[in-house]
Amino acid sequence: MDIAEELGLSVSTVSRALNDHPNISAKTKEKVRKMARKLGYRPNAMAAGLRNNKSRTIGLIIPRISMFFPAAITTVVQNKLQEYGYHLIICQSNDSLEQEQQLVNTLYSARVDGLAVSATLSTTDFSHFDIFKQHNIPVVFFDRTPKDYQAKVIKGDDFVGGLTATEHLIEQGCRDIVHISGPLTCNLYVERLAGYKSALQQHKVPFKKQRVFFHELTRENALATAGKIFAQQPYPDGIFATNDTTAITLLQYCREHGIRVPEDVKIVGYSNDPRTEIVTPSITSVDQFPATMGERVVSALMDLIQTRHPAGYRHPQEIVPTQLVVRDSSAGSPKKKK
Amino acid sequence: MDIAEELGLSVSTVSRALNDHPNISAKTKEKVRKMARKLGYRPNAMAAGLRNNKSRTIGLIIPRISMFFPAAITTVVQNKLQEYGYHLIICQSNDSLEQEQQLVNTLYSARVDGLAVSATLSTTDFSHFDIFKQHNIPVVFFDRTPKDYQAKVIKGDDFVGGLTATEHLIEQGCRDIVHISGPLTCNLYVERLAGYKSALQQHKVPFKKQRVFFHELTRENALATAGKIFAQQPYPDGIFATNDTTAITLLQYCREHGIRVPEDVKIVGYSNDPRTEIVTPSITSVDQFPATMGERVVSALMDLIQTRHPAGYRHPQEIVPTQLVVRDSSAGSPKKKK
DNA sequence: AATCTTTATGCAAACGTTTGCAGATTTCAT
DNA sequence: ATGAAATCTGCAAACGTTTGCATAAAGATT
């Protein structure tokens, strides 16, 4: 360290001075700090990390940063961690299991102090996270969470979300409701589907298998499904799509094909993507409170870093509530004009 | 290293074996690799980084991840770097100069191998990046770039963008065009404004000072400006907003106030945010090709890491072309119905 | 069998920190 | 003055890699 040389002190004294160690006299501290400023000294985080066995860095794995919901969470996670003096290494799995596995390994190599993960659509086996478990490094799953892998889980209330969305459609007079679900390998779609079914049952609306579609929720797939739905009469009078991209795409399809929303068919999306607010008609959607979720993720992480838990510890699952935001796409009764 | 112990080899041999060094026999390599796999060995990137004086990590500073354009760039930067075996530490300055300065320092402490930056709206003094210059670590600025700070710059063609957008409005029959600009501390707004002025001049449309507004381009500010614009007749017949959030907000304002778009007033935005496509009417906007820009940023970074340049080197500036995407908000002649 | 190559391995230092322990200096009460 | 206590500083090891150099083993050439 040049500061030490320059001042004729030992590196240990300098190190302690910079870290405000009590054993160092006020004068030396002042001298050292001054020289540090003068020389533009910046500690080497890698060296410190190596020595301390911690990096003050958190790894984040999400399917893609361009999707609204994970992006919104990422924003707050990042800002929150910044406040705590932690870095965030953000990685995209691009919804590929293989990439996810690889990322877990390289993030372990980077010796992140914790990991926050929203899994791939197809991740059902979570054993590639074992390496973090083995080394007792905190892992927090959010949104797309494992079903029976023991780890901290923070998720939206997907059952209730699915239930309220469907119930709302029923209350608005719908009796033939299409459900567009993601692949059931992903747990949250299982629960939304369960919510959908439960709502139907509670209101004695018959469940029809052919009214439920499963596929990755991309624009292309949504268009294909729209084609199928409206290929033949009778049209459904309600559609509950489990993401907003799908809902928006369906809305556009309807517009182009002269199907009136909400008069002919009502639409509800999921996630409360800001886009739902700006389309015409605006789309009813289920808010998942990404900010809250992000904050909870960081809190959980910081907490787990502070107080490690024994190997078999069962982390309590946190559920972030959900709220239906009613907009024009589901307004009024089917017969009445808005 | 436990592998060494386990196999009765020295750590150097193991290290070389894992790095496929030519001096190591095929058998030992095989043995070592096998044991590494068996023990679940993952190299400690911090130790390697410390020794090699490189981290295989790039730092990225953007105003916020939730904005479309920087987010779109980030996505490709991240994926591209992943391919090269680099990590990305993403940081948000939240458009605060102070935060930006701090981030530069902590990213230097992390000893990133390179830095990609889209600056704050208010960054005019770039001297906090000097530390990277001094240590000869590559810095690439994109989108919001410095005016006369010597560094690699990759930017959109903002002059031409402003020019074509304005020209388009003129060609559609507009003669009284409002320009909503960001603060001129940010270079790109200077150039878009210059493009706007140039287009007016070329088509002999008088420039009116009171038709130009400067403020941060948030929704709230856009609403306030909309209020001012439509407070009194005559209304403008065209609006060139330098971002899409502003354009969308204006469109909504018009809709709520019974001002027809594009019949009464035509609107053009900037960035080709996907939202411009889903509103009604869809909004004409200027595409800036974020993917191209992201790729260029990574290429530049990889290039600069490979071949360092002497202190005074003047990096050639790269300009990514721009393209006007015409949509409904600017269609037809002012009098004719679409 | 002796020498020279070639090939494979190990030693030890280095990267920049932090920290337990020991030692040096000062302060204070006696 | 003397010793004890309190205060400050330095030595050296450690973190997990990589790498120049030396050395050992094996193979080839006489």
| Averaged confidence pLDDT in chain B | 93
Whether the per-residue pLDDT at A256 is higher than 90: the answer is yes
Identify the residue among A87, A94, A128, A254 best suited for mutation to test binding to B, counting B beta carbons within 10 A and taking the highest.
A87
Which pLDDT score, from 0 to 100, does residue B336 have?
38
**Looking at residues B9-18, what average pLDDT do you find?**
89
Which pLDDT score, from 0 to 100, does residue B7 have?
81
| Averaged confidence pLDDT in chain A | 93
A232 CA to D16 C1', in Å? 67
Quote the CA–CA distance of B270 and B288 in Å, as a whole number.
8
A28 CA to C22 C1', in Å? 21
Please report which confidence band the pLDDT of residue B269 belongs to, taking 50, 70 and 90 as the band edges.
very high
Residue appearing with tokens 């991840």 = B65
In chain A, what percentage of residues exceed pLDDT 90? 81
Q: At B169, which helix (H) or strand (E)?
A: helix B158-171
Which pLDDT score, from 0 to 100, does residue A335 have?
42
Q: Coil, helix or strand for B240? A: strand
**Looking at residues B20-47, what average pLDDT do you find?**
88
Of A93, A97, A89, residue with least CA distance to A113: A89
In this predicted model, what pLDDT tens digit does every residue of B61-98 receive, in sequence order?
999 998 999 999 999 999 999 999 999 998 999 999 99
Of B76, B77, B45, residue with least CA distance to B60: B77
B218 at A interface, C-beta within 8 A: no
**Which chain B residues contact residue A131 at CB under 8 A?**
40, 42
Whether the per-residue pLDDT at A143 is higher than 60: the answer is yes
Least confident of A60-69, A212-221, A303-312, B65-74: A303-312
Whether the per-residue pLDDT at A151 is higher than 70: the answer is yes
**Looking at residues A91-110, what average pLDDT do you find?**
94
H runs (alpha helix) in B19-157: 26-39, 45-52, 68-84, 97-109, 130-134
Please report which confidence band the pLDDT of residue A84 belongs to, taking 50, 70 and 90 as the band edges.
very high
Which pLDDT score, from 0 to 100, does residue A261 have?
93
Please report which confidence band the pLDDT of residue B334 belongs to, taking 50, 70 and 90 as the band edges.
very low
pTM as predicted: 0.92
Which pLDDT score, from 0 to 100, does residue B29 have?
87
A 137-176 → B contacts, CB under 8 A: none
Within 8 A by CB and 6+ apart from A268, the residues are: A165, A168, A169, A238, A239, A240, A241, A247, A283, A284, A285, A286, A324, A329, A330
Query: Measured from the CB, is B55 under 7 Å from any atom of strand C?
Result: no
Q: At what angle do helices A219-229 and A244-256 cross, to 10 degrees?
A: 50
Whether the per-residue pLDDT at B22 is higher than 90: the answer is no
Per the document, the length of chain B is 338
B11 CA to D17 C1', in Å? 9
Whether the per-residue pLDDT at B338 is higher than 80: the answer is no
Q: pLDDT higher for A223 or A31?
A: A223
Q: Which of A43, A71, A92 is nearest residue B65 as measured by Cβ atoms? A: A71
Q: Which nucleotides of C are covered by protein (CB under 7 A)?
A: 7-12, 14-20
In this predicted model, what pLDDT tens digit does every residue of A277-294 receive, in sequence order?
999 999 999 999 999 999
**Which chain A residues contact residue B43 at CB under 8 A?**
109
**Looking at residues A124-141, what average pLDDT do you find?**
95
CB A180 within 8 Å of CB A242: yes
End-to-end CA distance of chain A: 74
Cα A77-A78-A79 angle, rounded to 5 deg: 95
A14 CA to C23 C1', in Å? 18
Please report which confidence band the pLDDT of residue A235 belongs to, taking 50, 70 and 90 as the band edges.
very high
**Looking at residues B270-284, what average pLDDT do you find?**
96
In chain A, what percentage of residues exceed pLDDT 70? 98
Q: Which of B42, B50, B99 is nearest residue A105 as measured by Cβ atoms? A: B42
Please report which confidence band the pLDDT of residue B335 belongs to, taking 50, 70 and 90 as the band edges.
very low
Cα B136-B141-B146 angle, rounded to 5 deg: 100
Whether the per-residue pLDDT at B231 is higher than 60: the answer is yes
**Which chain A residues contact residue B44 at CB under 8 A?**
50, 109, 111
In this predicted model, what pLDDT tens digit does every residue of A317-333 receive, in sequence order?
999 999 999 999 998 75
Quote the CA–CA distance of B77 and B1 in Å, as a whole number.
35
In chain B, what percentage of residues exceed pLDDT 70? 98
**Looking at residues A87-103, what average pLDDT do you find?**
93
Quote the CA–CA distance of A240 and A234 in Å, as a whole number.
17
Contact check, Cβ <8 Å, A109/B50:
no
Per the document, the length of chain A is 338
In this predicted model, what pLDDT tens digit does every residue of B100-123 receive, in sequence order?
999 999 999 999 999 999 999 999
In this predicted model, what pLDDT tens digit does every residue of B232-266 receive, in sequence order?
999 999 999 999 999 999 999 999 999 999 999 99
In this predicted model, what pLDDT tens digit does every residue of B303-328 receive, in sequence order?
999 988 887 889 999 999 999 999 99
In this predicted model, what pLDDT tens digit does every residue of B150-174 receive, in sequence order?
999 999 999 999 999 999 999 999 9
In this predicted model, what pLDDT tens digit does every residue of A163-175 receive, in sequence order?
999 999 999 999 9
In this predicted model, what pLDDT tens digit does every residue of A55-70 receive, in sequence order?
999 999 999 998 999 9
A3 at B interface, C-beta within 8 A: no
**Looking at residues B183-188, what average pLDDT do you find?**
95
Peptide bond into B262 cis (omega under 30): yes
Which tokens go with A102? Answer: 């690889």
Whether the per-residue pLDDT at B333 is higher than 60: the answer is no
In A21-157, which ranges are E strands? Answer: 57-62, 87-92, 114-117, 139-142, 152-156
Quote the CA–CA distance of B299 and B318 in Å, as a whole number.
12
Contact check, Cβ <8 Å, A248/B134:
no
